[in-house]
Chains A and B, each alone.
Chain A
């Protein structure tokens, strides 16, 4: 990862002075990651997955806010006995869907999964998520540049994020 930006990163570090020498090992990582994210939009959205609350995660992922829509159908159990494996799915009747995301608001990190939907792919997905405790589950559908959401409360009897 650091080989391509190696000479550049080294020069910058020297310019920053002796104080940064101690951080050399840690410092390489952000240097390599930043240009790559700007270059390709199919890059893994690392920042969004680090956000702890739902609003910040949506903002980091899409840069805008979602409005509730009854055209987004979110299917999840009302009561999940095992928070480690909760089957959830989304379907929508919206056109020009480009992405679908799931957020579990009470989890340590809100964003659970984000799917990029190509042209010709049916806008819908089913998967299984972990939920730490009883939580709000939010599905976001990006269609024609706008965000639409659906929300459902899932009661969790045994959490899926602790030992």
Chain B
């Protein structure tokens, strides 16, 4: 299965800019389906970015993060060719991990 995570990490020397897009329904548990039944909550709770053995950025998310979430941040201390590991876990215990090379 294709990874649910799409990442672009680009370095301009000192600073690495990371953009990540994840495919996830991010259901709030408050919305009803066409039959009038509540769609149970299903959302990513934690998303981690790890580079060179260190968590550079950790996101804790609630249900108010949009469907197919997008996040962008920058960090220092990495160079081109380094691996950036991205992993998420959701409230149902599902998870996914991918590794991106910093370009």
Contact = CB atoms under 8 A, between A and B. Distances in A.
Interface of A: 42, 44-45, 49, 84-86, 89, 104, 107-109, 111-118, 120-122, 124-131, 160-163
Interface string B38-69: 00000001100000001111111111111101
Contacts, number: 109
A120 B76 contact: yes
Interface residues of B, number: 31
A52 to B, nearest CB: 12
Contacts of A161: 28, 30-31, 64
> Which 8 pairs show the lowest CB-CB distances between chains A and B?
A112-B64, A122-B74, A121-B75, A128-B66, A116-B58, A126-B72, A49-B62, A114-B60
Contacts of B64: 104, 107, 109, 111-113, 129-131, 161
Given A49-B62, A114-B60, A115-B60, A127 B72 contact: yes
A117 B18 CA distance: 14
A44 B75 contact: no
B76 A113 contact: no
A114 B45 CA distance: 10
Contact of B31 (A104, A115, A120, A163): A163
Contacts of B46: 44
Nearest to A130: B64
B55 A42 contact: yes
